[in-house]
Amino acid sequence: DARVLVVCSEITAVTFRGPSDTHLDSMVGQALFGDGAAALIVGSDPLPEVERPLFELVSAAQTLLPDSQGAIDGHLREVGLTFHLLKDVPGLISKNIEKSLIEAFEPLGISDWNSIFWIAHPGGPAILDQVELKLGLKPEKLRATRQVLSDYGNMSSACVLFILDEMRKASAKEGLST
C-alpha cells in the first residue's frame, strides 16, 4: 500500500557553451535540450474513497541497444557539464524499436502498435520521425510527445511526465478516461 513520490528535475542549461569549431556535436544537444521539472505519485492498490488514479502501469521492460555505448554521453569537466550525441542516435533507436516493443508487449498479446496509446520520450524530431516510419504509427499516436517537445524541448527525464500530463489533458478534453 506504499505511495512513492517520483520527482524529475533537469537543468540542462548548464551544458550551454559558446560555439566551438572543435565541438560542433555539442551544439545539437544545446539546441534540443531544455530545463524542466515534474513529479507524480506511484502507488498500488488505490483507495477508491480518496484516490483516483489517472494511469495504470501494466508492465515494464528495458532493453539495452547493441552498439549504443557512447551514443549519448555526458561528462562533468572543469568547464562544467559537457554533452555529446552521436549523429546516428535516431538510427540506433529506430533499428531496435520494434524488437524492444515485441519484448515488452508480446507477453500481453499486443502486436499492433497503433492499438495502444503512446507516452514516448521524444529525444528529438528525427527520432520521432524514424520511429513513426519504422512502426507505421498514425500521426496522432505521437501527438502529445511532439507537442511537449515543441513547447519545452527535450527536458530529459521530465519529458515523460509532461507527456503524461498532456495525454491526461487531451483525454479529459475528449471526454475519455486515460
Per residue in 59-86, pLDDT (tens digit) is: 888 888 888 998 888 788 887 777 777 8
Cell numbers 538510427 label which residue?
91
* Residues contacting residue 120 through CB under 8 Å, at least 6 positions apart: 128, 131, 142, 145, 163
Q: Is the CATH code 3.40.50.720 the one for domain 3-173?
A: no
**Which contiguous run of DSSP H or E holds residue 43?**
strand 36-43
- What is the mean predicted confidence (pLDDT) over 28-43? 86
Residue 13 in this model has a pLDDT that exceeds 80: no
Per domain, the residue ranges of the chain are: 3-173
Instruction: Please state, for a pLDDT cut of 70, what percent of the chain lies above it.
Output: 96
